[in-house]
Each structure stands twice: as structure tokens, then as C-alpha cells.
């Protein structure tokens, strides 16, 4: 092995001079390319930060959709509360269509019942479907019940 062919480590001062020379050469000979790369780097950092902010926001939202309100549509209730459409259609008394989304407030007005009564009927159906006896959801913590999930005696949350 030839001793003279090994790379010589640069000291910090030499590295600084080399980087300064490299940056000045790039600026002198490839100014447009350096500006475009810098803008791409700034945009990448901007969108990466935006992605992290939105991801942490959406991860922090509760899985509980909150109380039923008059602005909700039957389709929203099916998805948010994990209801079978047939159960909700039976409760509302009609088959809801994708083409004509009606809110619960509009449905209550069309049926001639107070909105609170309609919401109480829907909540009754949800309560019938929510296991409270330690069923498949584990420890009686259904998707519509408050509180932390049940843990075993060891404190692990398996």
C-alpha cells in the first residue's frame, strides 16, 4: 500500500476555506442553479413543517365524534358512530340518498317532530349497539363511552 496515496485529513480551517471556495465557485459559475436549489430547499422545509403541523393536529383529535347535532346528516352518523345504514334508516323512517343529503334538522321538520326527540331516538339506537358488558371492544369501553381504556392488574395496556 502506497503511503502517499492515502487522503490527508483536513483541519477545520482548511475545511472552512474549502467550503468557502466551493460556495463562491457555485455562486460565480452556477448562480441560477444555486438560487433554484435554495428555493427548492426552502419550499421543501416549508411543506415538511406544514405536514408535521397538520399530522400532529389530526392525530390529536378525539375519536369520539361528540354529541349528535342538527347539522349532521344520516351519512355522517353512519360513518362517525359506526351505525349500520339499515338501523339508521329504520329509526329515521326513510331511505336516505346520496343525491339529496338532508340534515337531522331538516328530517325532523319534515317528520313534524322536535329535533331533540329525533336525536334521542338515534342515541337510543346507538346505546343498544354499544357493548357495555366487556364485549368485543374490551372492558366495556365502546366507541361512545368516555374514559380511558381498561387496563389489567399489571398496568399494561395490551
138 Cβ contact partners less than 8 Å away, ≥ 6 residues apart: 149, 150
> Quick check: is 1 in a domain?
no
Residues 104, 75: contact at Cβ < 8 Å? no
Q: What is the pLDDT at residue 129?
A: 77
Q: Based on the domain organization, do 79 and 56 belong to the same domain?
A: no
Q: Based on the domain organization, do 79 and 41 belong to the same domain?
A: no
Residues 140, 132: contact at Cβ < 8 Å? yes
Residues 125, 88: contact at Cβ < 8 Å? yes
Helices (H), the chain: 12-29, 31-60, 74-80, 85-92, 104-111, 115-129
- Count up the domains in the chain and report the number: 2
Q: Based on the domain organization, do 97 and 56 belong to the same domain?
A: no
Q: Which domain, by its residues, includes 84?
A: 74-129
21 vs 99: which has the higher pLDDT: 21
CA distance 105 to 94: 15
Residues 129, 87: contact at Cβ < 8 Å? yes
Residues 96, 89: contact at Cβ < 8 Å? yes
For the segment 74-82, the average pLDDT, to the nearest whole number, is 85
Q: Based on the domain organization, do 80 and 122 belong to the same domain?
A: yes
Residues 68, 98: contact at Cβ < 8 Å? no
Query: How does residue 18 score in pLDDT terms, banded at 50, 70 and 90?
Result: low
Q: What is the pLDDT at residue 151?
A: 45
Quick check: 104 pLDDT over 70? yes
**What is the gyration radius of the CA atoms in the chain, in angstroms?**
31
Q: What is the pLDDT at residue 36?
A: 93
Of the chain, the end-to-end C-alpha distance in Å amounts to: 59
For the segment 109-118, the average pLDDT, to the nearest whole number, is 90
pTM here?
A: 0.46
Quick check: 32 pLDDT over 70? yes
Q: Based on the domain organization, do 91 and 117 belong to the same domain?
A: yes
Amino acid at each position: 500500500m502506497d503511503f502517499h496515496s492515502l487522503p490527508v485529513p483536513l483541519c477545520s480551517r482548511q475545511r472552512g476555506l474549502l467550503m468557502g471556495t466551493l460556495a463562491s465557485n457555485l455562486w460565480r459559475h452556477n448562480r441560477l442553479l444555486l438560487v433554484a436549489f435554495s428555493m427548492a430547499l426552502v419550499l421543501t422545509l416549508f411543506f415538511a413543517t406544514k405536514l408535521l403541523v397538520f399530522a400532529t393536529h389530526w392525530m390529536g383529535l378525539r375519536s369520539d365524534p361528540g354529541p349528535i347535532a342538527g347539522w349532521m346528516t344520516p351519512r355522517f352518523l353512519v360513518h362517525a358512530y359506526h351505525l349500520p345504514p339499515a338501523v339508521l334508516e329504520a329509526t329515521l323512517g326513510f331511505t336516505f340518498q346520496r343525491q339529496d343529503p338532508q340534515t337531522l334538522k331538516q328530517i325532523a321538520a319534515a317528520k313534524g317532530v322536535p329535533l331533540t326527540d329525533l336525536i334521542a331516538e338515534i342515541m337510543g339506537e346507538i346505546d343498544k349497539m354499544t357493548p357495555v358488558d366487556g364485549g368485543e371492544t374490551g372492558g366495556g369501553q365502546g366507541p361512545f363511552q368516555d374514559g380511558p381504556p381498561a387496563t389489567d392488574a399489571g398496568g399494561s395496556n395490551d
